[in-house]
Amino acid sequence: MKRIQIWQGILMALILIMLVPLSGKAQDNQVIPKGSQTLFCGEVHGKNGDNYYAAIYRHGISVVKLDSTNKKGIPGLAYYKANCFKTDVVTYDLKIVQDTAVFILLLSNGNVFSFNPQRKVTGNNIFTTTKYISNVGYKPDSTNDAYVKIVGDDLYALSNTTLFVSRNTAISWSADSAGLNGATINDVSVDSGQNVYIATNMGLFKQAPSGSSWTNIKSPYLQSSHVFGAHNGTLFLSSFSSLSSSIDNGKSWKTDTTGLHGAAAIKFCEDSAGNVYAITAQYSFLTVGDGLFKHASKGWTNIGKNFLKMNADPTNSNIFNSINGGSTLYLSTNFGSFISTDAGTTWTVDPNAALADNIFGMAVTSKGTKVMSTAMGVYYKTSGSTSWTHSFPSSGYVTGQKIFKDKNDVLYTLGKIKGNNTYSLYPREMWKSTDEGKTWTADTLDMSKVRAYYYFVDENGNEYAGAGATANFIKRVGAGNSWEYDTQGFLRDKNYTGILGYGSDGTGTVYASAAITGKAYVYRRDVNSTTWLIDSAGWDPSFSAFSFANDASGNIFAGAMNGGVLKRVNGRWKRLQYPNANLFGNSVFTLTTDNSGALFVAYSNFTYAATTGLGVFMTKDTGSNWTQVGTDSFNFNQLVSAGDTIYGLANYGGVYAFTESSSVTAVEEQKNILNANGIKIYPNPAKDELTISFSKDINDGHFIEITDMQGRRMRSYTFKENVHDLQMDLTNLPRGIYILSVQTSSGVERQKFIRE
């Protein structure tokens, strides 16, 4: 590759979460197991012979300095940045810039960033730098722009509408369409000579390095979908389920589909030995989503089946996200990252895999054992232990599912889909654990008739599975009880949307939410009854309930989309007061109570494009007064109650713990506060920098520190000279609420501020 002079882009204060050691704490305030979906992972070779392992996740990046002998991460030299970006990282390219490996990251909104995994190494710390460079050409009012790829020394960024090129390392972009005559571009690739190829609906086009126009070259397909230029001189071109290759720069072609069995090659790579690999997709309904193949002299060999033998849930679509490497292959999947040292014959778990950034389910037993569900399955950790054990499935992996716990500490979760398909109404295996998640047993009795996409277990161990008015099921607790239909009392209509949520009041009454002909309904049923009753008195039919919670007194609360929180009072639903006016009309998809009866609620702004977290709030008086207890940096998928602690499962943000004692008043936004000793902080809320102003000079005997709401020190500064104003850098500080403490001659002054 050409060496490129970089970076003229503006450094952007983008990092939302601090770098923390992977070998110690997680990216938030809870230690969590491994198991992240990866978009890319592999070795990065830098200056001075240093080698790094880098991985890109949906919203985060990790980097590990590798030991030169065993290529495992060096303890203390592993860092992870979770939730670096509010929008998805959709594609990347790896470049050598001034002898340094640098990632070019393209986000779904068209923003381009550089990521240098070895920006600076000092002692036992790796400081990584992420820089904003430019925006390719995203139109916020357009629903058609979706960026899919970035390649080349002269960078080519492809969306589903336009191909853009940058000749100055992503600083500026221009559309590159001369000679295409209106062709729609489906894929772009470069070969070892930096010749650029694009697959279009009008055939294959080529452009020389730094060229300005496209030339249509001979190809076997009028419509081509994917193209790959291998360093061994072979050119691959696919047209959906057909594939051809050329070894003379496209002058002649041969059909190259032997062994693919109709699978369509959509992503390619090659290793240091010149072997070519392809990730494939099946363009048919109810089939395995993708595969992984290796190219050989006699055609293609399916090496994905070797991975799927380990995978307990092979019916999920889009398992393989990328493959790359040299002598070692790195496979990025929805289940995590894996490596192969024998050209894909066998696969093992990547020893440098990062901690899970998305927890699908969690339960805490009465003995303090934590059980979590990640992209690689279920893990457990007993009270006092520092390590996690993968327990389900016993061999292989399964996509993350929720975990339910009854009053006897029996745990429930779902396994793989039964049958060779991905259709959501086909049954999943149902599993139980009676030993705090250490071992799991399949519960298969009558499971074949259950069709459901919503699963729930109440405090007594009764199981519920919901799909629609004619496909709701219950399995009552007790030896030998089987699944039975549970539809009596549900309204029936062709426009029935199915079950949206289940819940229990903790005293034997179960609630369900559903919608029919555009109206939302709430149902209730005593567990000993066989008939559901409409329970919508006071309920606004435009609000759909997605979650329920109960307190120790049997009060039932419901969280509604665009409707906040409602409580059932004397047979009618009554909406609770919003924590503040800015939250009016926003959604609540999860809520729960602690052992004192305090209600914890995660508010979200729901649109069809995205769901944005607005913070976690707590009330001890049924909504008369609210306190903010959780950051608004994340959209929380689930709040899990464990005594006096509430755990929030953040969407691609890990796990947070909330308690009443660690809370901060939501409306308490102190701005330009001047205290008795003449200390003023501003702005508040602050973004990248906080200014501390003193009415008189502070001498060298004073000290400043910033702590989070759990008391952990985040910043500190000791005065070595007299100052009147001090600016503290907040760039790498996570968004949230903090305490600034200033030690003065008269004691310690503390002030609260918000990092936004």
Please report the pLDDT score of residue 326 as a whole number: 81
**Cβ atoms 250, 386 nearer than 8 A:** no
Torsion of CA 365, 368, 371, 372, to 10 degrees: 120
pLDDT at 128: 46
Sorted by sequence, the CB contacts under 8 Å of residue 218 that are 6+ apart come out as 204, 250, 251, 253
For the ranges 22-26, 625-629, 700-704, the one whose mean pLDDT is highest: 625-629
Please state whether 527 falls in left (phi above 0), alpha (psi between -120 and 50) or beta.
Answer: alpha
Location of structure tokens 């960024």: 157
CA atoms of 332 and 55, how far apart (whole Å)? 9
Most confident of 372-381, 485-494, 723-732: 372-381
Lowest mean pLDDT among 503-507, 565-569, 579-583, 632-636: 632-636
Look up residue 263 and give its amino acid.
Answer: A
Residue 469 is predicted with a pLDDT of: 53
Are domains 361-658 and 673-755 of this chain identical in fold?
no
- Which of 1, 170, 9 has its CA nearest to residue 97? 1
Alpha carbon of residue 426 to chain centroid: 25
Kindly list the distances between the CA atom of residue 446 and the CA atoms of 313, 432, 499, 530, in Å, as whole numbers in the listed order. Answer: 20, 15, 21, 19
Separation of first and last alpha carbons in the chain: 40
pLDDT in tens, 215-227: 999 899 989 999 9
Res 491: pLDDT = 82
Range from 534-543, 630-639, 663-672 that averages highest in pLDDT? 534-543
Output 611 or 304, whichever has higher pLDDT: 304
Query: Does residue 669 carry a pLDDT above 50?
Result: no
Instruction: Report the topology of domain 673-755.
Output: Immunoglobulin-like (2.60.40)
Pairwise pLDDT comparison (112 vs 695), residue with the higher score: 112
* Structural tokens at position 172: 């500026």
Q: Give dist(CA 415, CA 368) in Å, integer.
A: 24
Is 612:604 a contact under the CB 8 Å cutoff?
A: yes
Model confidence at 656, pLDDT cuts 50, 70, 90, reads confident
pLDDT band at 320; cut points 50, 70, 90: confident
- 361-658: which CATH topology? Methylamine Dehydrogenase; Chain H (2.130.10)
> Which residue's entry shows tokens 């395995």?
288
> Who has greater pLDDT, 317 or 199?
199
Tokens representing 345 are 């014959």
Asked whether the predicted pLDDT for residue 284 surpasses 60, the reply is: no
What are 171's two structure tokens? 């600083």
CA 384 to chain centre: 28
- Average pLDDT, stretch 60-75? 67
* Number of Cβ atoms within 10 Å of the Cβ of 642: 19
pLDDT at 651: 78
Can you give the pTM of this predicted structure? 0.75
pLDDT tens track for 433-456? 999 999 999 887 777 777 767 889
Of the pLDDT bands very low, low, confident and very high (cuts 50, 70, 90), residue 314 is low
> Which tokens is 202 given?
């009008």
- pLDDT at res. 170: 84
Q: What pLDDT was estimated at residue 748? A: 59
For the stretch 100-126, pLDDT in tens is 667 788 877 788 877 776 554 333 333
- Of the listed ranges 41-45, 261-265, 720-724, the one predicted with least confidence: 720-724
Quote the distance between the C-alpha of residue 369 and its chain's center: 25
What's the rounded mean pLDDT across residues 572-583?
90
pLDDT tens-digit readout, 163-207: 999 888 888 899 899 999 989 999 999 988 889 999 999 999 999
Which pLDDT tens digit goes with each residue over 350-360?
888 777 878 89
Mean pLDDT of 537-555: 90
What integer is the mean pLDDT of 654-683?
A: 55
pLDDT attached to residue 2: 27
Question: Tell me, what's the pLDDT at 285?
Answer: 36
Average pLDDT over residues 458-468: 85
As a whole number of angstroms, the distance between CA 85 and CA 335 comes to 21
Task: Look at 492 and 7; give whichever has higher pLDDT.
Answer: 492
Regarding predicted confidence, which is higher, 143 or 81?
81
For 679-746, strand residue ranges (E) read 679-682, 689-698, 703-708, 713-718, 723-729, 736-744
Q: The tokens of 506 are what?
A: 């903790």
Condensed to tens digits (0 to 9), the pLDDT of residues 549-558 reads 999 889 999 9
Residue 619 vs residue 710, higher pLDDT:
619
Least confident of 7-16, 457-466, 470-479, 497-506: 7-16
Average pLDDT (260-282) is: 86
What does pLDDT average to over the chain? Answer: 77
Q: Does the pLDDT of residue 518 top 50, yes or no?
A: yes
- Give the pLDDT mean for 88-94: 72
Identify the pLDDT of residue 674: 32
Q: Report residue 702's pLDDT band, with 50, 70 and 90 as the boundaries.
A: low
Asked if residue 672 lies in contact with residue 682, where contact means CB atoms within 8 angstroms, the answer is: yes
pLDDT at 77: 47
Question: Which of 504-513, 634-643, 707-716 is predicted with the least confidence, judged by mean pLDDT?
Answer: 707-716
What is the structure's pLDDT at 316? 58
Is the predicted pLDDT of residue 28 greater than 50, yes or no? no
The DSSP bridge partners found for residue 566 are 558, 575
pLDDT for the residue 597: 92
The full 3-state SS of 285-336, as one line of letters, equals CCCCCEEEEEEECCEEEECHHHHHCCCCCCCCCCCEEEEEECCCEEEEECCE
DSSP string, 573-628: EEEPPPSSGGGTT-EEEEEEE-TT--EEEEEEEE-SS-EEEEEEEEESSTTSS-EE
Q: 315: how many CB neighbours lie within 10 A of its CB?
A: 22
Check residue 536 and give its pLDDT.
92
Residue 673 has pLDDT above 50, yes or no: no
pLDDT value of position 201: 92
pLDDT of residue 711: 58
Determine the average pLDDT of the residues in 286-296. Answer: 69
Residue 44 confidence class, pLDDT cut points 50, 70, 90: confident
* pLDDT above 50 (res 143): no
> Of 10-24, 135-149, 693-707, which gets the smallest average pLDDT?
10-24
> Which percentage of the chain shows pLDDT scores above 90?
27
The full 3-state SS of 381-433, as one line of letters, equals ECCCCCCCEEEECCCCCCCCCCCEECCCCCEEEEEEECCCCCCCCCCEEEEEE
Stronger pLDDT, 386 or 12, i.e. the higher one? 386
What are the structural domain ranges in the chain?
A: 361-658, 673-755
State yes or no: pLDDT of 526 exceeds 50: yes
Q: Confidence band (pLDDT; 50, 70, 90) for 697?
A: low
Binned at pLDDT 50, 70 and 90, residue 718 comes out as low
pLDDT score of 426 more than 90: no
pLDDT at 26 over 70: no
Long-range contacts (CB closer than 8 Å, 24 or more residues apart) made by 716-720: none
Which tens digit of pLDDT belongs to each residue from 374-423?
888 899 999 888 889 999 988 888 878 899 999 999 999 988 877 654 44
For 253-262, 285-294, 454-463, 731-740, which range has the lowest pLDDT when averaged over its residues?
A: 285-294
DSSP three-state, residue 449: helix
**Sequence-separated (6 or more) residues with CB below 8 Å from residue 20:** 26, 27, 79, 80
pLDDT at residue 324, as a whole number: 84
Residues composing the chain: 756
Residue 47 three-state SS: helix
Considering only CA atoms, which of 17, 38, 162, 86 is closest in space to residue 609?
86
Give me the residue label for tokens 């390392």: 169
